[in-house]
């Protein structure tokens, strides 16, 4: 059985397909923009965290990391009272009270990371981002 298509049928099919393609394209662009916004906001938050996790002590600058906290904890456990360590610029810095430094940097680390977690969860739970991340 032969099926005959009129010009009207072909034009109508192209128009319907064109509308569907345009809607898909708009969805793709919206998704891309949502993810781009999410990633930019996440990067800004990460940069703030990196800046906040710097501690200055006796003329030196130290990145507060889990490794740094672990190193200070080890020094405490081995009953060291004073140590000389390299700062982020590879300069030797004398630390007179390891316990005080450990307490200070640990508190700062947990405060900053907890704030980052709260902000990140708020960003993830925004309606557009939540939908985009589920895809």
54 in any annotated domain: yes
Q: How far apart are CA 75 and CA 99, in angstroms?
A: 9
């032969």: which residue's tokens?
Answer: 2
105 in any annotated domain: yes
pLDDT of residue 131: 56
* pLDDT tens readout for residues 98-114: 999 999 999 999 999 99
Q: How far apart are CA 93 and CA 85, in angstroms?
A: 5
3-state SS class at 92: strand
The mean predicted confidence, pLDDT, of the chain is 84
113 in any annotated domain: yes
22 in any annotated domain: no
Q: Domain span at residue 115?
A: 41-134
Report how far Cα 62 is from the mean position of its chain's Cα atoms: 21
85 in any annotated domain: yes
Specify the number of domains making up the chain: 1
Beta pairing partners, 86: 92
pLDDT of residue 128: 62
Other beta carbons less than 10 A from residue 45's beta carbon: 15
12 in any annotated domain: no
19 in any annotated domain: no
Q: Band of the pLDDT at 120, cuts 50, 70, 90?
A: very high
pLDDT of residue 10: 46
Name every residue whose Cβ is closer than 8 Å to that of residue 98 and which is 6 or more positions away in sequence: 72, 75, 76, 80, 81, 82, 83
Q: Band of the pLDDT at 21, cuts 50, 70, 90?
A: low
Q: Is the pTM of this model over 0.85?
A: no
120 in any annotated domain: yes
* pLDDT tens readout for residues 34-64: 888 888 989 999 999 999 999 999 999 999 9
- Which tokens go with 22? 């345009």
């Amino acid at each position: 059985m032969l099926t005959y298509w009129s010009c009207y049928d072909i034009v109508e099919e192209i128009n319907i397909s064109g509308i569907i393609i345009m809607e898909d394209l708009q969805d793709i662009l919206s998704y891309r923009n949502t993810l781009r916004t999410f990633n930019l906001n996440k990067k800004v938050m990460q940069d703030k965290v990196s800046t906040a996790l710097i501690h200055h002590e006796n003329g030196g600058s130290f990145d507060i990391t889990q490794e740094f906290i672990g190193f200070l904890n080890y020094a405490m456990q081995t009953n060291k009272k004073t140590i000389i360590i390299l700062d982020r610029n590879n300069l030797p810095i004398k630390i007179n009270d390891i316990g005080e430094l450990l307490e200070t940097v640990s508190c700062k680390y947990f405060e900053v990371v907890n704030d980052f977690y709260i902000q990140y969860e708020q960003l993830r739970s925004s309606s557009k981002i939540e939908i985009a991340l589920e895809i």
